[in-house]
Amino acid sequence: MRQTLTVNINMQKYTVTTETGLFFRLGNLLAEQYPDKKVAVITDDTIKDIYEEHLVKQLDGAGIQWKLISLPPGEGSKSFDTLPKLYSILLDFQLTRGDVILAFGGGVIGDIAGFTAATFLRGVNLIQLPTTLMAMVDASIGGKNGANLKEGKNMAGTFYQPKEVLIDPGFVRTLPDEILDDGMAEVIKYGCAFDPDLFSDLIDRAEKGDGSGIESIIYRCCLIKKQVIEQDYQDYGVAMLLNFGHTLGHCIEDYYPDGTYTHGQAVAIGMYATTLAAEKRGLTASNTSALLKDLLIAYDLPYTLPENADLSKIVETVKRDKKRRGNTLNLVLLERIGKSYLYQLDKSDFVEFLKID
């Protein structure tokens, strides 16, 4: 079923369309909405291997003048050094400001293609066509983009809203399980922090075990994200609640070598550890952490670090996190499932807070 919502940020409006099979009408959709415009598709080699044939059928079929630019998969392509290479290809293709960059991929592609669209010729039309669950429910909406510097991840980037976001939940069918579960962590986050009904539906869905209902789950996450970022698209207030599980999650990602934990796995551990500690301190309703733990297990996500992990060392990295302004942490806690709030804490007290015995 096709569902659309409108995001309205900073006087800029754009639609997010969720529809299984949308990819198979992409050619006509682009030809109608961007007549006679060139389209530069930025993707990665894995996605290209799976979907190039369909893409050719769609875009050639609609008579679009287009170019496929494919980067190696993985975080390495999000490097700042990728930008001049992309700019050269786009110049060569003679892409102008009225033309379109189509970001076709997961979070990495969404970020680097978004940054390219924001900065090439001071900004060209951007369409997000996310292919991972993570990118569908999170990264493709809100206009954040970024590139990694050698000094750190996402150290350069802008807020640049796309002209539209096209979500085809059908792409999740080709996702490896681990990457699908990674996105589920973010979906579970939305249920925990904002929507108790979403949380119960996730439990029911896991019990059924048939992977159904993903389309409506994605749409509901997009709706939550829209509502939150419309109030606060730069993360100064209510949007901080989107960071549930992320404070510790980012520490885990920073501490362990690349690839030990995916973003979603680190966030899953972050959500559980924070909720367990908050519950022990009477800051979260009792039994909340048990419900969360069961759901994480049902989606093959971890909920705890290995027993020998040195929590104080892991949490040390919180001090380097660029988003933690000053010495105070705005930790997201659950009042109960579906309702979150900010709890301020001195950075140096974070490790103590997390210790439960």
Return residues touching ligand ADP (CB under 6 A).
44, 46-47, 50, 73-74, 105-109, 131-132, 134-135, 171, 174-175, 179, 182
Nearer to ligand ADP by Cβ, of 42 and 278: the residue is 42
Q: How far is CA 209 from CA 20, 40, 212, 298, in A?
A: 20, 39, 8, 9
DSSP track, 33-77: HSTT--EEEEEEHHHHHHHHHHHHHHHHHTT--EEEEEE-SSGGG
Minimum CB separation of residue 263 from ligand ADP in Å reads 7
Least distance in Å: CB of 206 to ligand ADP? Answer: 21
Closest separation in Å from C-beta 259 to ligand ADP: 11
Q: CB of residue 16 vs ligand ADP: minimum separation in angstroms?
A: 16
CA 36 – CA 211 distance, rounded (Å): 40
Shortest Å distance, C-beta 80 to ligand ADP:
17
Instruction: Say how many C-beta atoms besides its own lie within 10 A of residue 258's C-beta.
Output: 9
118 or 179, CB closer to ligand ADP? 179
In the complex with ligand ADP, which residue's Cβ is closer, 46 or 200?
A: 46
Which three-class secondary structure state does DSSP give residue 208?
helix
b or e along 295-327 (b: 16 or more beta carbons within 10 Å of the residue's beta carbon)? bbebbebbbebeeeeebeebbbebeebeebeee
> Which among 302, 309, 329, 307 is positioned nearest to 318, based on CA atoms?
329
CB-wise, 140 or 340, nearer to ligand ADP? 140
Closer CB to ligand ADP, 115 or 171, in the complex:
171
**What are the residues whose beta carbons fall under 8 Å from the beta carbon of 109, sequence distance 6 or more?**
42, 43, 44, 47, 71, 77, 103, 135
Q: Which amino acid belongs to residue 183?
A: G
Choice between 132 and 275, CB closer to ligand ADP: 132
Q: 124: Cβ–Cβ under 8 A, 6 or more apart, which residues?
A: 95, 96, 97, 98, 99, 100, 101, 117
Looking at the DSSP bridge assignments, the partners of residue 332 are 342
Would you say 99 or 253 has its CB closer to ligand ADP?
253
Q: Are 52 and 46 in contact (CB under 8 A)?
A: no
How far is it, in rounded angstroms, from Cα 219 to Cα 227?
A: 12
Closest separation in Å from C-beta 344 to ligand ADP: 30
Cβ 39 to ligand ADP shortest distance, Å: 19
44 vs 253, beta carbon nearer ligand ADP: 44
Query: CB 172 → ligand ADP: shortest distance, Å?
Result: 7
C-beta separation of 277 from 356 below 8 A: yes
